Amino acid sequence: MRTDAPLLLPIFRSRGQGRLLARIFLHPEEPIPLAGLAREIGLDATTVLREVNRLEDAGLVVSDRIGRARVVRPDERSPFYPELSALLFKAFGPATVLARSLRGLPGVEAAYIFGSWASRYHGEAGPAPADIDLLVVGRPDRRVLARVCREAGRELGLEVNPTVVAKESWESDETPFVRSLKPAPLVALDDAHDCG
Amino acid sequence: MTAAEVEQLLRDGRLRATQPDPETALVELESARTHISSAEKIVADDPEAAFALLYDAMRKAVVAHMRANGYRVTRGADHVKTGEYGRAALDHLDIDWHLDEFELLRQMRNQSEYEALRIDDDEVREAFEHATAVVDAVARDLAGAS
């Protein structure tokens, strides 16, 4: 299964390859079995096997046998490791970092990335995002949210700009802002993004 | 000024050193004061615009301090980096509480631009306090340095 090149950082051969690398490189402390990798990034097992073989041949990842499973992790001895990690983090990290930052924050019912980062993530061409537009549905403490976003932005190297919308407003489509956002590209920050 | 924290921002590439320019800094500070008085005039009719002016007054005061001391933020996330400089460089001025609110005000101003946030009277009143405190403190510090 071939996917288009990722437009957030169109130097990878396909979006699937970018997401696969991101999952492996953004969580070096959590080596993942190939079957789990395929499931998490939504590619078929054959494609994942082919991609991982190619990356291993190139010395970018290593895999180990644990029981019957083949588990893959980044090869930290690769000369490309630090830079590749940094690129992947910047291109694919915001959904992961923000999902982690917002997890368990009182008053947050749901959260989405919108704006240019979400557009690039979904394949719309355009300039590289200068910031991350974050929609938070609920009633979080604004000061706590401001601090969380400042820390996440520092970690990501991108400004994080949160917009808070009450759950009722989000569900009722009562404001022009909410109505304009619903059909726009959104990246939901749910559990799926906790693993990149 | 906490020199070590400012040095860290320089090392992190958040700031860069430039020629100190106290004259332009005073012009910027004056502009910040004008924003506060303009906000007072329009607050009853247009609290969102008053809030935006007050945020800008706060930001310009911090930028004025930066300029007078020979620093600029590097490209990208300018306002966030300005807030970082404020917390690092102005902590001896006893305005920590106001500087801590800088990022909150920045985010609220952004959100009000999406029409997703109505600024209420209490929020504008607090913004007046923050802006006035920061502008006054920077003015005192720059006067003391000259």
pLDDT in tens, B27-39: 999 999 999 999 9
- Which residue would you say has higher pLDDT here, A18 or B133? B133
Q: What is the ipTM of this complex?
A: 0.70
Beta strands in chain A (DSSP E): 32-33, 61-66, 69-74, 108-114, 131-138, 159-165, 187-188
At residue B90's C-alpha, the angle toward residues B89 and B92, to 5°, is: 110
Would you place residue A151 in the very low, low, confident or very high pLDDT band (cuts 50, 70, 90)? Answer: confident
pTM surpassing 0.80?
Answer: no
pLDDT at A89 over 80: no
Q: Provide the shortest C-alpha distance from residue A167 to chain B (in Å).
A: 13
Report chain A's C-alpha Rg in angstroms: 18
Per-residue pLDDT at B52 = 94
Residues B56-71 have pLDDT tens digits of: 999 999 999 999 999 9
SS3 A51: helix
Token digits for A96?
């992961």
Name the closest residue on chain B to residue A169, using Cα atoms. B116
Distance CA B68, CA B142 (A): 8
Q: Provide the shortest C-alpha distance from residue B80 to chain A (in Å).
A: 7
Say which DSSP state B19 is in. Answer: -
Could B104 and A162 be called an inter-chain contact, meaning their C-beta atoms sit closer than 8 Å? no
Alpha helix positions (H), B43-120: 47-68, 78-89, 96-100, 102-113
| Token pair 């789990």 in the structure block, residue | A36
Per-residue pLDDT at B2 = 67
Contact list in B for residue A179 (CB cut-off 8 A) is none
For A177, which of B76, B83, B115 is closest by C-beta distance? B115
| Average pLDDT of the segment spanning B90-115 | 86
Residues A110-144 have pLDDT tens digits of: 999 999 989 888 878 888 788 899 999 999 998 89
Q: Are A122 and A52 in contact (CB under 8 A)?
A: no
Number of A/B CB contacts below 8 angstroms equals 46
Q: Are B32 and B23 in contact (CB under 8 A)?
A: no
Mean model confidence pLDDT for chain A: 85
Contact list in A for residue B107 (CB cut-off 8 A) is 142, 145-146, 149, 161-162
| Average pLDDT of the segment spanning A64-72 | 89
Q: Give residue B103's Cα distance to chain centre.
A: 10
For A177, which of B76, B77, B116 is closest by C-beta distance? B116
Could B117 and A162 be called an inter-chain contact, meaning their C-beta atoms sit closer than 8 Å? no
Mean pLDDT is lowest, of A19-33, B33-47, B98-112, B129-143, for A19-33
Mutate to test the interface with A, among B87, B99, B114 (most CBs of A within 10 A): B114
| Average pLDDT of the segment spanning A51-67 | 92
Would you place residue A195 in the very low, low, confident or very high pLDDT band (cuts 50, 70, 90)? Answer: very low
Q: Provide the shortest C-alpha distance from residue A77 to chain B (in Å).
A: 26
Is some CB atom of chain A closer than 8 A to the CB atom of B110? Answer: yes
Instruction: Determine the residue type at B97.
Output: W
Name the closest residue on chain A to residue B112, using Cα atoms. A163
CB-facing half-sphere around the CA of A115: CA atoms within 13 A: 18
Distance CA B83, CA B25 (A): 17
Percent of chain B beyond pLDDT 90? 58
Q: Provide the shortest C-alpha distance from residue A56 to chain B (in Å).
A: 34
